[in-house]
Chain A
Amino acid sequence: DQQVKQNSPSLSVQEGRISILNCDYTNSMFDYFLWYKKYPAEGPTFLISISSIKDKNEDGRFTVFLNKSAKHLSLHIVPSQPGDSAVYFCAASVRLGGSNYKLTFGKGTLLTVNP
């Protein structure tokens, strides 16, 4: 059962335009969402996060939007740069009980920003 879904395996945009990466989830108990970026031959790196009590979080060129009713979040990159070309993973966290939490990742979306 895939609880975090990134339905677009790849996305291609022109430099300077907006990149929108989407993520859907099924578990309404998820309370924290994160985006990670991964370059080839490197480990994923944290990009931006959002709590379930918010609907938007912004950090420079990166903005994450959360629509809880639709169980959907998106990452906007404006303007897109060639250096943003990477695989982007959406992740969601749920509390299992006590101090035990679980983080579930989507399958990732490969973003290519063309010069």
Chain B
Amino acid sequence: EAQVTQNPRYLITVTGKKLTVTCSQNMNHEYMSWYRQDPGLGLRQIYYSMNVEVTDKGDVPEGYKVSRKEKRNFPLILESPSPNQTSLYFCASSLFWGVGSGANVLTFGAGSRLTVL
């Protein structure tokens, strides 16, 4: 089944304890991205990657790191989590990004709910 898999789905942690949220897709998609969803703010992009070894900041990158060493994986790293990073996180991927039929159609993971105490 074509899908984007995120882990963990739920996590409660404490301020300052490094954590990684993994994301893997099995569709050979070039484009991957991380979003956070907060009440009243919708989906905001954290980081994205156009291809392997190519990453760039989204709208809210502060406090996060990413890497794209291989096509299928795009982990989100919180080096020193803080309570304002408590949120629902979504990883997404797309076959390609640009103009044309099927362009920019993101497939999302099921989400990872993170609570930082």
Contact = CB atoms under 8 A, between A and B. Distances in A.
Given A43-B4, A89-B43, A49 B105 contact: yes
Contacts of B107: 46
Q: How large is the interface on A (under 10, 10 to 19, 20 to 34, 35 or more residues)?
A: 20 to 34
Q: How large is the interface on B (under 10, 10 to 19, 20 to 34, 35 or more residues)?
A: 20 to 34
Contacts, number: 61
A32 B104 contact: yes
A69 interface: no
Contacts of B110: 41-43
Interface of B: 4, 33, 35, 40-45, 50, 56, 90, 92, 97-99, 103-111
Top 9 A-B pairs ranked by shortest CB distance?
A43-B108, A107-B42, A105-B43, A101-B97, A46-B105, A93-B104, A44-B108, A43-B110, A105-B42
Interface of A: 6, 31-32, 34, 36, 41-46, 49, 51, 89, 93, 95, 99-108
